[in-house]
């Protein structure tokens, strides 16, 4: 096999920068005539209740529109933007529709005749990805001729980086997403993610790094203006270069190690030719892990407040998005409930793999998986179970009250409102432009 070409381009202006990234790596040279093309952006979060930071979290509409124009220039008529946005109610079709409208995709419909598709309104098909991984994919994308994959260049608290291959998780159904967060340490999240691209049509990947995120995939970490585009028709090579640019050797990324073994390809860049900017010229370390105390038992911000009598371990890769989405709200509520009086040896456990510690007076188990895994555990003195899948936020609030943590119900009335608090960080920072997420 010859070397795969990956282009690196600094984002400078609409259309021309994306065009350069595509041309340098010949990314659309093998696009079949009359192809049915699907464009997969990354809309990892959306809410209708409040403006929230999209920089480094959601693919810019700038890049989406530029790709549509380049496809139209090649005579492509059948273009569909496809995404499966996580919502707490799987029947909620209004939130995805609101996202597509707000991001300007309706204007793309009018101007270029493209379509939009919420995967949860369409059929899924069981796909055997090999090595025992069977997941249900959006059937339309599987039947397409070509996939334009437009992830955001970001690090990720569970998979270290979230790039081209990980972005494909948005094409699978809810049960498959939960399945990906398996408690089996040998065949966990990274093992599953590594195989997501195995059975999809030919693709082109462009990592949108106009904005990048440190400690992603959401907005709680540090969002940056980085002005980088990385492109390739080889998704694995794009991800290896993307990882390097975020400051990681591909050897440090577990899903890339699995993918290298699966594809029988080198994990280093020996099979990649980089064109355009040099990696070293644009690389910048993006941390992925949220800071915790040395023993891993409390987030640093809670330690700083002086919180005592609480153990809240860092979530692991077995917690799925539905449960992990609670973490920010719960932590914000706990921080604001702290009055300087130690809590009564409370432990809060999440995901599928954690085990209760001995000597705790109250053990809060969040989510059906945690309850099933530990309900009979000998270390539990008093169990406070939040059973749902995904768990109910109000029940989580009641559980905290029962544990003696007097959280303010306002945090739980509308969880999405917490997303709006993060907008304050960007006041007076003109480099964070909302216009990148609009199509006028």
Exactly one of 207, 323, 333, 373 binds ligand SF4 (CB under 6 A); that residue is 323
* DSSP three-state, residue 330: helix
Q: Interface with ligand SF4 includes 390 (CB under 6 A)?
A: yes
Residue 422 to residue 219: CA distance in whole angstroms:
7
Q: Which is nearer to ligand SF4, 87 or 226 (CB)?
A: 87
Look at residues 210, 263, 200 and name the one whose alpha carbon lies nearest to residue 236.
Answer: 263
Cβ proximity of 276 and 7 under 8 Å? yes
Residue 366 to residue 387: CA distance in whole angstroms:
7
How big is the site for ligand SF4, counted in residues (CB under 6 A)? 12
Residue 189 to residue 389: CA distance in whole angstroms:
18
Exactly one of 21, 229, 329, 369 binds ligand SF4 (CB under 6 A); that residue is 369
The tokens describing 282, both together, are 């644009």
Smallest distance from the beta carbon of 390 to ligand SF4, in angstroms?
A: 4
Residue range at the interface with ligand SF4 (CB under 6 A); choices 113-121, 146-154, 314-322, 422-430: 314-322
* DSSP three-state, residue 345: coil
Q: Which is nearer to ligand SF4, 15 or 389 (CB)?
A: 389
Smallest distance from the beta carbon of 254 to ligand SF4, in angstroms?
A: 19
Q: Which is nearer to ligand SF4, 67 or 369 (CB)?
A: 369
Residue 269 DSSP symbol: S
Angle between helix 105-112 and 94-102 (nearest 10): 70
Residues 149 to 208 in contact with ligand SF4, rule: CB under 6 A: 178
Using alpha carbons only, what angle is made at residue 150 by residues 258 and 36, rounded to the nearest 5 degrees? 100
Smallest distance from the beta carbon of 355 to ligand SF4, in angstroms?
A: 15
Q: Interface with ligand SF4 includes 325 (CB under 6 A)?
A: no
Gyration radius of the chain's alpha carbons: 22
Count of all residues that appear for the chain in the document: 440
> Taking the CA of residue 191 as centre, how many other CA atoms within 13 Å lie in the half-sphere pointing to its CB?
16
Q: Interface with ligand SF4 includes 281 (CB under 6 A)?
A: no
The tokens describing 274, both together, are 């980089």
Q: Which is nearer to ligand SF4, 211 or 322 (CB)?
A: 322
Q: Interface with ligand SF4 includes 389 (CB under 6 A)?
A: yes
Cβ proximity of 83 and 167 under 8 Å? no
Q: Interface with ligand SF4 includes 368 (CB under 6 A)?
A: yes
The tokens describing 388, both together, are 């749902």
Q: Which is nearer to ligand SF4, 169 or 352 (CB)?
A: 352
Smallest distance from the beta carbon of 87 to ligand SF4, in angstroms?
A: 13
Element at 190 (helix H, strand E): helix 189-193
Residue 346 to residue 382: CA distance in whole angstroms:
10
Q: Interface with ligand SF4 includes 315 (CB under 6 A)?
A: no
Q: Interface with ligand SF4 includes 349 (CB under 6 A)?
A: no
Smallest distance from the beta carbon of 412 to ligand SF4, in angstroms?
A: 17
Residue range at the interface with ligand SF4 (CB under 6 A); choices 27-35, 213-221, 317-325, 420-428: 317-325
Q: Interface with ligand SF4 includes 319 (CB under 6 A)?
A: yes
Element at 222 (helix H, strand E): strand 222-232
Residue range at the interface with ligand SF4 (CB under 6 A); choices 8-16, 37-45, 261-269, 316-324: 316-324
Q: Interface with ligand SF4 includes 144 (CB under 6 A)?
A: no
Residue range at the interface with ligand SF4 (CB under 6 A); choices 41-49, 121-129, 305-313, 365-373: 365-373
Q: Interface with ligand SF4 includes 15 (CB under 6 A)?
A: no
Q: Interface with ligand SF4 includes 322 (CB under 6 A)?
A: yes
Residue 34 to residue 75: CA distance in whole angstroms:
7
Residues of this chain that bind ligand SF4 (CB under 6 A): 178, 319-320, 322-323, 351-352, 367-369, 389-390
């Amino acid at each position: 096999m010859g070397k795969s070409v990956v282009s690196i381009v600094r984002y400078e202006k609409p259309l021309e920068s994306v065009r350069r990234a595509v041309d340098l790596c010949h990314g659309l040279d093998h696009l079949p005539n009359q192809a049915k093309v699907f464009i997969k952006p990354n809309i990892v979060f959306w809410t209708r209740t409040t403006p929230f930071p999209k920089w480094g979290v959601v693919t810019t509409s700038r890049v989406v529109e530029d790709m549509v124009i380049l496809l139209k220039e090649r005579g492509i008529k059948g273009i569909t933007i496809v995404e499966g946005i996580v919502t707490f109610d799987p029947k909620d079709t209004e939130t995805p529709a609101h996202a597509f409208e707000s991001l300007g995709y309706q204007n793309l419909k009018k101007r270029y005749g493209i379509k939009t598709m919420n995967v949860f309104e369409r059929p899924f098909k069981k796909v055997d990805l090999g090595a025992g991984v069977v997941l249900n994919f959006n059937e339309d994308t599987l039947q397409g001729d070509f996939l334009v994959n437009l992830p955001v260049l970001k690090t990720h608290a569970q998979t270290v980086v979230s790039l081209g291959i990980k972005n494909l998780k948005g094409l699978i159904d809810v049960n498959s997403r939960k399945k990906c967060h398996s408690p089996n340490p040998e065949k966990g999240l990274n093992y599953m993610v590594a195989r997501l691209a195995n059975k999809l049509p030919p693709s082109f990947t462009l990592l949108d790094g106009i904005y990048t995120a440190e400690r992603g995939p959401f907005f709680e970490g540090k969002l940056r203006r980085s002005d980088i585009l990385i492109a390739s028709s080889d998704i694995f090579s794009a991800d290896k270069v993307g990882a390097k640019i975020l400051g990681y050797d591909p050897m440090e990324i577990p899903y890339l190690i699995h993918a290298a073994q699966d594809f029988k390809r080198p994990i280093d860049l020996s099979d990649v030719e980089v064109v355009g900017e040099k990696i070293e010229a644009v690389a910048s370390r993006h941390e992925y892990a949220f800071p915790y105390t040395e023993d891993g038992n409390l987030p640093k911000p809670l330690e700083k407040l002086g919180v005592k009598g609480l153990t809240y371990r860092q979530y692991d890769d077995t917690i799925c998005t539905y449960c992990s989405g609670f973490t920010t709200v719960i932590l914000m509520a706990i921080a604001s409930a702290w009055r300087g009086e130690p809590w009564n040896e409370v432990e809060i456990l999440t995901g599928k793999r954690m085990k209760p510690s001995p000597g705790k007076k109250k053990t809060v188990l969040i989510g059906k998986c945690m309850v099933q895994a530990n309900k009979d555990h000998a270390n539990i003195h008093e169990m406070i179970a939040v059973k749902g899948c995904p768990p109910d936020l109000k029940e989580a609030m009641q559980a905290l009250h029962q544990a003696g943590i007097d959280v303010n119900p306002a945090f739980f009335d509308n969880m999405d409102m917490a997303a709006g608090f993060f907008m304050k960080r960007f006041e007076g920072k003109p480099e964070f432009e909302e216009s990148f997420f609009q199509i006028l």
